[in-house]
Structure 1
Amino acid sequence: MTRQQLIKSIYTIMENSLAMQTLSSFHEDARLNEDLYMDSIMVLQLILHIELDIGISIPDEMLVPKDFQTVGTLVSFLEKLQQAE
C-alpha cells in the first residue's frame, strides 16, 4: 500500500469501525490523543482493525508510544512493517 492508501484506510477505519466524531480534525499531522481524542482503548481498537481490515500484522513487542503520536507517525510505522514483510 502507498502512504496515501494507508492514510485513507486509517480514515475509513476511524469513520466506519470506530464511529469517531472528531474526523473533521483528521490530517497527517493530527495527534491521535490531543486532536482526534483517541484514548488507549480506541488506539488498541484501531490496531486491531488495521490488522484485520488492512492485513498488516503488528507484533505486540513493536508497539511503542512514539509511533502512535500522529496519523503520520502511525503511517510511517505501518510502512516500515510492510517493508519488513
Structure 2
Amino acid sequence: MVDKLKLQDVPELKPSMHLYDDLGIDSVMLLQLIVHIEEDLSLIVPEDELDPSIFVTVESLIGFIKTLEPRTVHASHS
C-alpha cells in the first residue's frame, strides 16, 4: 500500500493507523487503492458493500479485503 500510493513518511504500516489522519490518504488515493485491490490481488470489490467504516484503519481495510471473493479468470483451452 505504501508503494502503490506513494505514501510519504510512512516507514511501517501498523494495523491501528488511520488511513486519512495517519497516512494522509485522500478520496482519489482511496479509489486508486480499490483499483489496486481488484487488479493486483484479483479480488472483486462490490460497490454496494463499500462502507466508510471499511476505510478507517489499516486493520479495518485488511479485514474487508479478507472477505472479498477472488475474481475468476477464465483460461482459454486451445
TM-score, shorter chain, exceeding 0.5: yes
Alpha-carbon distance in structure 2 between the residues aligned to 1:52 and 1:39: 20
Residues 1-85 of structure 1 mapped to structure 2, 5 A cutoff: 11=1, 14-15=2-3, 17-24=4-11, 26-82=13-69
Q: How many residues align?
A: 71
Which structure is higher in helix share? 1
TM-score by length of 1: 0.74
CA distance in 1, matches of 2:11, 2:20: 14
TM-score by length of 2: 0.79
Of structures 1 and 2, the larger Rg is shown by 2
CA contact (8 A) 1:32 1:70 kept: yes
SS in 1 for 2:44: coil
Q: Percent identity?
A: 35
Change (3 A) 1:25 1:37: farther
Q: Could you tell me how far 1:18 is from its partner in structure 2? A: 1.8
Specify which structure has the higher proportion of strand: 2
Mark the runs of 5 or more structure 1 residues left unpaired by the alignment. 1-10
CA contact (8 A) 1:30 1:36 kept: yes
